[in-house]
Amino acid sequence: MNVSRLLISVVMAASLLSALNLGTAEETEGYSDVGFIQSLEDLLRSQAGLLSSFEFLMHQTPTNLTDTLMFLDSFEDLLRRQAVLFDGFESMLKLKWCRMEKEDQQSFLASFEDLLKRQAYLLHRFKQHLKEDWSDFPPESKIKLLASFEDLLRRQCSLFKSYEELFLIKCGGISIEKSADKSLVDPGEEVTYTYVIHNYYLLPVYDILVSDDKLGILTRNLTLEPGESTSFNVTTEIYEDTCNLATVMGKTSAEVVVEDQSNLVCVVVRGGGIPEPEQYEQFCEAQKITGSGVVDISTSMVNKKIALVFNEAMAGEGDISLDAERAMSEKAGKLLRPVGEEKEMPLNFYESTKMAYTGLTPLTAVKEIKSRKLYGGIDAFVNEAFSVSEMERESSGFLATTDVTTGFKNGTEAAALKLKSPAMLVGIDTKNAFNGTWGTDSSWHEIFQKKILAHQRFTGKFEADKLIKLHEKVAPGKERGGCDGIDC
């Protein structure tokens, strides 16, 4: 910890030194603005080198979980302090940019780019350290570190945007930015999009056309003088999750066609799943077992609030190594787990098993996961069963049925979670090498609409890799009841 404290002190000293240099720049005759910014840039580059050294020492030092969290907190604090200084450097560049010589602008652009690359590398290393021990971190530390990493990335994106703006001012270009006044809405609610177009060229841009990939052509025949910008709003009703972007196109007096594409803007709609209870319940069981003898394991879950029915049983006698987790949460945003090769997503139920077994007595097991229509699910189930004398197995099962936006007041957080949500979903992902019998069954039925049945069974020595996903994208909105509109 002494190393991290020492480096924090060095960073603070660098900040103080830059402030002292600022005072000196104002008081010393002949000290130019460009010279001061160059001095600050040198300090930032040196600081980035110190952070790299700290990260290297942190990586080389053997630590337990407590020490790892402590060092990560220190590393995160150093990165945050560096980001603050980068913000100051960026502000100074913008303030003096238009009064700089072209050669100085080119030099500082290259320098700014190099600093951004160094910071990006440090953020990448921070992510790698998080990944190494992520599964062992307590939930509260995961939330804190994830929120911090998100904030650091947000700051990095802001600096990238500033770099782009400085580049456009120097080299010329046309840009368009798009934003929405809401990120989370009810079905049919109005959303206002704002479009900002800026001409960075030293020539006027004529015949400007602005279009949106979901809303079509928005305006045409605009003209922007050099350095001029304009903005306008478009209001529309949103009925489903929508991610769209805008494009601007025009031409200069030299008949050169110029264009730009905006950032992607997403607005999500509440609904599309079972409403989550305000007072929610959770269950988790995790176990690691190694030994030889009689095996008898069973688990059963029925939860109408999330339309879940889960049953499993396993029995046998032999040598076994087992690492398993069973988790259920009525609030899907609290249970983030991977599905197949995809990244973590909000789930209501998740089970995983890593197992190796050998024995003269066959190990017999059955597992089923159902999403019950009667409780608000999609009337689908998956089943896996085996009877084996030898097996190496890695398997997971999952279910998502709830509307993750329920009760959220922060629209941005709710929208980000909704975009990750797979509701409605039920399935399994299993990899097996076995000697015996193994098979799967899956079914999805909707009266007068669809009926899907799938069956596989293998007996002998096999290796099997299987992913089953039954997914329905439920459109947000009110479902009409049988007597809807009847007063009595």
Q: Are residues 336 and 460 in the same domain?
A: yes
Q: Are residues 52 and 100 in the same domain?
A: yes
Domain limit, last residue, from 168, 199, 225: 168
Q: Is residue 223 scored above 60 in pLDDT?
A: yes
Q: How confident is the model at residue 12 (pLDDT cuts 50, 70, 90)?
A: very low
Put the strands of the sheet holding 184-185 in their side by side order: 184-185, 265-269, 242-244
Q: What is the mean pLDDT of residues 220-248?
A: 92
Domain limit, last residue, from 237, 269, 301: 269
Q: Are residues 262 and 289 in the same domain?
A: no
Which amino acid makes up residue 117?
A: K
Output the six-digit token pair for 152: 């650091």
271: DSSP letter: -
**Residue 357 contacts residue 363 (beta carbons within 8 Å):** yes
Asked if the structure places residue 423 within a domain, the reply is yes
101: DSSP letter: -
Q: State the Rg of the chain over Cα.
A: 29
Locus of tokens 């599964």: 135
Return d(Cα 8, Cα 22) in angstroms, integer: 21
Asked if the structure places residue 8 within a domain, the reply is no
Q: Is residue 1 scored above 50 in pLDDT?
A: no
Q: Are residues 164 and 78 in the same domain?
A: yes
Return d(Cα 342, Cα 355) in angstroms, integer: 22
Q: Are residues 161 and 203 in the same domain?
A: no
Return d(Cα 475, Cα 464) in angstroms, integer: 35
Sign of CA dihedral 9, 11, 17, 20: negative
First-last CA distance in the chain: 71
Structural domain harbouring 178: 173-269
Q: Are residues 322 and 455 in the same domain?
A: yes
Return d(Cα 270, Cα 184) in angstroms, integer: 7
Q: Which of 13-17, 327-331, 427-431, 478-482 has the lowest mean pLDDT?
A: 13-17
Asked if the structure places residue 254 within a domain, the reply is yes
Q: Are residues 116 and 230 in the same domain?
A: no
Output the six-digit token pair for 51: 């952070």
Quick one: what percent of the chain has pLDDT higher than 90?
45
- Helix or strand holding residue 356 (H, E): strand 349-371
Encode pLDDT of 53-70 as tens digits. Answer: 777 776 677 667 777 778
The total of structural domains in the chain comes to: 3
**Residue 301 contacts residue 245 (beta carbons within 8 Å):** no
Q: Are residues 383 and 454 in the same domain?
A: yes
- Give the other-Cβ count within 10 Å of 391's Cβ: 24
Output the six-digit token pair for 60: 């080389």
Which amino acid makes up residue 115?
A: L
Range list of β-strands (E), 160-273 = 174-180, 184-185, 189-199, 205-212, 216-224, 229-238, 242-244, 246-252, 257-261, 265-269
CATH number of 232's domain: 2.60.40.10
Q: Are residues 229 and 290 in the same domain?
A: no
Output the six-digit token pair for 470: 């039954």
Output the six-digit token pair for 146: 């994830």
pLDDT at 180: 94
Asked if the structure places residue 246 within a domain, the reply is yes
Q: What is the mean pLDDT of residues 369-389?
A: 95
Asked if the structure places residue 486 within a domain, the reply is no
pLDDT at 49: 74
Output the six-digit token pair for 290: 């190694």
Q: How confident is the model at residue 166 (pLDDT cuts 50, 70, 90)?
A: low
Asked if the structure places residue 416 within a domain, the reply is yes
Which one is predicted more confidently, 81 or 19? 81
Q: How confident is the model at residue 165 (pLDDT cuts 50, 70, 90)?
A: low
CA distances, 267 to each of 134, 158, 248, 409 (Å): 30, 21, 21, 15
Output the six-digit token pair for 466: 């299987």
Asked if the structure places residue 7 within a domain, the reply is no
Which one is predicted more confidently, 434 or 103? 434
Quick one: what percent of the chain has pLDDT higher than 70?
84
Of 273, 292, 282, nearest in space to 424 by CA? 273
Asked if the structure places residue 68 within a domain, the reply is yes
Rounded to the nearest angstrom, the gap between the alpha carbon of residue 202 and the centroid of all alpha carbons in its chain is 39
Q: Are residues 242 and 98 in the same domain?
A: no
**Number of helices and strands in the chain (H, E):** 6, 20
Q: Is residue 442 scored above 50 in pLDDT?
A: yes
**Rounded to 5°, angle at Cα 276 from 239 and 450:** 60
Locus of tokens 């030994």: 291
Which one is predicted more confidently, 330 or 407? 330
Return d(Cα 185, Cα 178) in angstroms, integer: 18
Q: Is residue 105 scored above 90 in pLDDT?
A: no
Encode pLDDT of 275-300 as tens digits. Answer: 999 899 999 999 999 999 999 999 99
pTM of the model: 0.67
Q: Is residue 425 scored above 60 in pLDDT?
A: yes
Q: Are residues 236 and 87 in the same domain?
A: no
Q: Are residues 204 and 340 in the same domain?
A: no
